[in-house]
């Protein structure tokens, strides 16, 4: 199975590509909407602000294509801002619409959290009913992953939240809906557990191939 990694100018694209290649993924890196429509699976990397990311996605026509591909039931992994833009709205630099794939709003971490942005390692704690999800295979509950963000996803449907992390408040750090997955942290910077999560996603893609 070939996984499309969306190239819209995200700064973490090369690291994501290298990490996926390290776990044996067959990749195509693309900015072509038609190639994304044909993709068997998709990874949306991201760093920076949701407004800039949405501007870049609109310029490529991906604001229409991505919801289509997700609605088709293709495996999808959003990383950091690639998770945030799945929601309906973001409050970063003023309220603005995002992709609207998941109900909810992107909000700023509370000042009580301490230093913002959160930069560094933090624990990812699974929700009990999703602790055995294939995305978490061979990754112990409470493992540390690497975060760089000032905003978090306030998801309307709590059943979509597969894991939480605490930074001033418990915020969703992993979101799962069928074969749609998204993570607030950077697996490509998270050592062996990050690589394992990416490998789990690749294996999930392979299991759903042709289904």
* Per annotation, catalytic residue among 80, 98, 153, 205: 80
User: Is 35 exposed, middle or buried, given 0-12, 13-18 or 19+ CB atoms closer than 10 A?
Assistant: middle
The verdict on whether 153 is a catalytic residue reads no
Give me 40's structure tokens. 């068997």
CA 206/CA 199 separation, integer angstroms: 11
* Per annotation, catalytic residue among 98, 149, 188, 193: 188
User: Is 118 exposed, middle or buried, given 0-12, 13-18 or 19+ CB atoms closer than 10 A?
Assistant: buried
The verdict on whether 98 is a catalytic residue reads no
**Phi, psi (5° rounding) for residue 80?**
55, -110
The verdict on whether 188 is a catalytic residue reads yes
* Per annotation, catalytic residue among 92, 98, 149, 186: 186
Show which residues are catalytic.
80, 186, 188
């Amino acid at each position: 199975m070939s996984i499309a990694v969306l190239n819209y100018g995200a700064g973490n694209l090369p690291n994501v590509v290298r990490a996926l290649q390290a776990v044996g993924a067959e990749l195509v890196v693309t900015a072509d909407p038609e190639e994304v429509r044909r993709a068997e699976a998709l990874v949306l990397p991201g760093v920076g602000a949701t407004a800039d990311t949405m501007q870049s996605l609109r310029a490529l026509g991906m604001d229409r294509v991505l919801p289509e591909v997700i609605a088709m039931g293709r495996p999808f992994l959003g990383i950091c801002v690639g998770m945030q833009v799945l929601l309906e709205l973001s409050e970063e630099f003023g309220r603005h619409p995002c992709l609207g794939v998941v109900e909810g709003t992107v909000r700023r971490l509370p000042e009580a959290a301490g230093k913002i942005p959160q930069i560094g390692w933090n624990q990812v704690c699974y929700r009990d009913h999703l602790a055995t999800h294939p995305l978490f295979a061979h990754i112990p509950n409470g493992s540390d992953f690497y975060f760089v963000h000032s905003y978090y996803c306030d998801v309307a449907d709590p059943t979509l939240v597969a894991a939480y992390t605490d930074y001033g408040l418990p915020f969703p750090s992993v979101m799962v809906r069928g074969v749609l997955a998204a993570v607030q942290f950077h697996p490509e910077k998270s050592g062996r557990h990050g690589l394992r999560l990416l490998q789990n996603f690749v294996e999930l893609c392979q299991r759903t191939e042709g289904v």
